[in-house]
Amino acid sequence: MTINSWKPKPWAICVIALASFAAGSRMTARLMDVDQVRADSNRLFELRVYHAVPGKVPALDSRFRDTTAKLLAKHDLTVVGYWVPEDAPGWDNTFVSLMAYPSREEANKNWAALLADPEFQAVIKSEQANKLVVKEDSIFMDPTDFSSMK
């Protein structure tokens, strides 16, 4: 009596492996919450440039460090960073921040909450008494598809 043994061809093994990989990948993609993964990569950024009264950048820096940064965080306003230009003539009296938001609507909502906060109202009142900023520039920006920060 002869036992009939089936030996698969090497190309058949490759086809089975490829089909299994494709099916597993498809199942994994369906199980993932793709919207949540994409939400973090579609942030909106805001570049804020504060033009300080000449000689007042150190005081403005202190105000952000000691008060404003904490209030921004309290109202879910995410600061990516703060900068003071180093070698740029004409930028001597500037203070720069970069903010990140999940959406423009979220930015507007959180800024409204900050502006209504009594602690921030005190900062504004102090600013009127001891002027630090001459002018503020703000620009909202979308990251490009090849940007390393999204």
Q: What pLDDT, in 10s, does the model give residues 116-128? A: 999 999 999 998 8
Q: With contact defined as beta carbons under 8 Å apart, do 99 and 82 qualify? A: no
Does 39 have pLDDT greater than 50? no
Structure letter (DSSP) for residue 68: I
128 vs 40, residue with greater confidence: 128
Give the pLDDT band of residue 40 (cuts 50, 70, 90). Answer: very low
Distance CA 99, CA 107 (A): 9
| Domain 42-141 of CATH type 3.40.50.920 | no
Distance CA 9, CA 16 (A): 11
Q: Map residue 136 onto helix, strand or coil.
A: strand
Per-residue pLDDT tens for 6-32?
A: 565 555 554 465 555 555 555 555 555
88 vs 43, residue with greater confidence: 43
Does 4 have pLDDT greater than 90? no
Residue 137 CA: distances (Å) to CA of 5, 48, 51: 78, 6, 8
